[in-house]
Structures are given as structure tokens and as C-alpha cells.
Amino acid sequence: MLINTVILMLRDALPIALLISFLLLAFRLQRQTLVVLLLSTVITTAVLVLLRNSVSDTFDGAGYEWLTVALLLIAYLFALLSLDFKAYRSAAIIAAIPVISLHLADFMLYLFAFGSHSERLPGILVGSVLGSGISLSLAMLLVVLLSPYRTTLAMKSLWVLFMAAQASGAIPLLQQTGVIDESAALWDSSVIISDASEYGHLLKALLGYESQPDLPYLLTWLALVGLGQCMVLRHHFLFRSSPEGASS
Amino acid sequence: MLRLMLSVWLIVLSQDALAARPEVVVRLKDHLFHPAKVYVPANKKVKLIIINEDDDPEEFDSFALNREKVVFGQAKANLFIGPLPPGRYPFFGQYHPTTAQGEVIVLPPGEEVPDAH
């Protein structure tokens, strides 16, 4: 139970910790904005946890997948808006809420299901602390490593790359619902970095790494990353001389 | 009019395709998958129906199939896999990974499902 909890925490807490790092680095969020993010996330997560069972039953059992896909698309669109929008901090917060809430809701479901078993509680608590510690350490390492390169272009570029990676997760969900067909894996790098390993989880959270990606996933990832980077460059070269561009 | 006819034809065709899609039922009881080996044909999309007979929820998870699906206690969930090339694709229950294990075995064209007895 302990190891399993650590693995689940890495899967769900690591993307959240990395996302908050990117928000702090790229948008220099202040305490008030972080409080808004926290409250909004708590409410959204509670709604997702409470409605999950009933939503899952809709659309021939694919209701939660459709909801997740919609939330990931909203997150990506607002991440793009955060590049080129007057209220760029608000757009970044709106982009972050669905991603954090989806991961948090997954972990809360596990906690609620097994936290009530008293014999499992110590393992779950220790595993949660260990998983949170690893996730926070990696996120802080990211902040320390990237702080010297804290230019608008680099940070916004990494922010959009991260959000594109999150949004690419919609493709396996659409394949799961039967909307998109799978194709054969284009390559298999699981011998070098397995999806189940710590590095696999980190690269998945950061870049959307898949050890055996298929064509629909790769094309979507390339399109989302490409579109995002074009928007970053456009914004950088169009507005870098203006006060708004310089401040963002 | 032609567009309408074409639309109706496409809907009928897609319904036929859905109807012909193979389905496999996997039951989860005492945190074990039954059957643990799921045989499916190659190059066909297959609907997996997972019925959780336990009271606890479970998450069907597979890195090889790239699937994650929470199945609540005393509930069922559907998910599609494939079309897949022949091979073995392990899956497990994310909440009970030591006991809830299984694999999807994709059979090459013409190969029969081995007799369980």
C-alpha cells in the first residue's frame, strides 16, 4: 500500500507541483492570486469527486473521459490566451485549475476509497508524505535550475510545452472511448525509460512522454506544441518593445 | 437531399460497425481479474467491459495498452482497445497491483483461442 501510494502520488502530485512551479516562474503570481487558485481548485475538485460516479455512467460509460477531454482543451486554450491577453495572470489561473483538479480528484478518490480502512491508513499517510516530498523536491529543483533563465520567452515557451503535454493526454482518452482508432507504436523506448519508472513519470508530467507513442498521439503532441511555440514567438516579437509585453 | 441520404447511410454503416465490434467481459472479484488472460483478435477494435464485483473501486491500468479507467465498486465500465498487432499487453489494478494482474493476448489472424481445459 505504501509503494502504491507513492506511485499514485508521483502520477498525480508531480504534475501539480510542476504546474505551480511554472506558474510562479512564468507569471510571478502573488499571494492573492494563489489563494484564488487554491479555492477554485478545491471547489472544482470537490465537484469532480462528487459527480464522478454519475458522470461516468453517461455516454455509454465514457462520460468522465469526455469531461476530462473538455477540461484539458479548456486548459490548453487558456494557456494560449495567457500569452497574448491583457488579463494574462487570470488566463493562466483558469488554465491551471482543470489540470490540478483532475489530478487531485484522481488521488482523492483513492484516498476516500482506502483511507477508511484503518489498517491501510498508516501506509497511505506515509506514502502520501513520501510522494509529496519527492514531487515538491523535483518542483523546487526545477525552479532553482530555471531561475537563472527566467526570461519571458524561455518561461512562456516551457509553460506552453508543459500545457501541450497535458492536453495531449486527451488522445488516449478518445481512443479509450472508441472515437479514435489506435495505430501501431511508432517506437518503443521502454527499455531506456519505462513509463512506470520515476523518470517516466517525470518526463510524462513535463513533456507528455510515452515510451510507445502511436501516430495520433505524436501528431497531436506536435500540433499542440507547435501551435503554442508559434504563439509564444509571435507574442515575443510583436510585443517585446511594448510595456505590456515586457511586464508579462 | 443527396447529403441527407449520405448522412443516413453513414449512420447506418457506423451502427453496423459498432454492432459487429467484439466485446469481452472481465470481472473483478476479490481484487483478481477473471479471466486473467483476455484473448482478442488482431487488428480489430474490441470493447472491454469490466465488471467490478468488489465493494472497493479499482483502476484498470495498462502502460502497454495506454489505458486508465476507474471502475467503482459494484459497477461496470467500458473501454475500447485496439486495433492491435499480435502480442501480449499486461494490465493491472492500480489500487491492488500485487493481486489484480492480467494480460490481453492479441492472437494472430487464424489462430484459435487456446482451450482453458
ipTM of this complex: 0.84
B21-107 belongs to which homologous superfamily? Cupredoxins -  blue copper proteins (2.60.40.420)
Average pLDDT of the residues in A2-12: 88
Asked if residues A158 and A18 have their Cβ atoms less than 8 Å apart, the reply is no
Cα distance between residue A135 and residue A56, in whole Å: 29
Write b or e for each residue in A127-139: b if 16 or more Cβ atoms lie within 10 A of its Cβ, otherwise e. Answer: bbebbbebbbebb
pLDDT, tens digit, 9 for 90 and up, residues B67-76 = 999 999 999 9
pLDDT, tens digit, 9 for 90 and up, residues A55-78 = 998 998 899 999 999 999 999 999
Average pLDDT of the residues in B75-104: 93
Cα distance between residue A71 and residue A65, in whole Å: 10
Residue B57: pLDDT over 50: yes
What does the mean pLDDT of chain A come to? 90
C-alpha cell, A68: 476530462
Tell me which residue has cell 520515476: A198
Q: How confident is the model at residue A180 (pLDDT cuts 50, 70, 90)?
A: very high
pLDDT of residue A195: 92
pLDDT of residue A30: 83
Tell me which residue has cell 465500465: B77
Is the CB of residue B9 less than 8 Å away from at least one CB of chain A?
A: no
- Contact list in A for residue B70 (CB cut-off 8 A) is 52, 56, 64, 106, 109
Residue type for A69, please?
Answer: V
Interface of A with B (CB under 8 A): 4, 8, 52-53, 56, 60-62, 64, 106, 109-110, 113-114, 172, 175-178, 181-184, 190, 194-196, 210-212
In sequence order, which residues have a C-beta less than 8 Å from that of residue A232 and are 6 or more positions away?
A: A83, A153, A156, A157, A160
Average pLDDT of the residues in B9-16: 47
Residue A7: pLDDT over 70: yes
Q: How confident is the model at residue B116 (pLDDT cuts 50, 70, 90)?
A: low
Please state the φ and ψ torsions of residue B22, each to the nearest 5 degrees. -65, 145
In sequence order, which residues have a C-beta less than 8 Å from that of residue B3 and are 6 or more positions away?
A: none
Average pLDDT of the residues in A223-227: 97
pLDDT of residue A242: 55
pLDDT, tens digit, 9 for 90 and up, residues A21-57 = 999 888 888 888 899 999 999 999 999 999 999 999 8
The domain spans of chain B are 21-107
**Closest approach of chain A CAs to the CA of B65, in angstroms?**
9
Of B98 and A119, the structure prediction assigns the larger pLDDT to B98
CA distances from A35 to A7, A31, A90, A159, A220 (A): 28, 6, 12, 21, 33
pLDDT of residue A28: 82
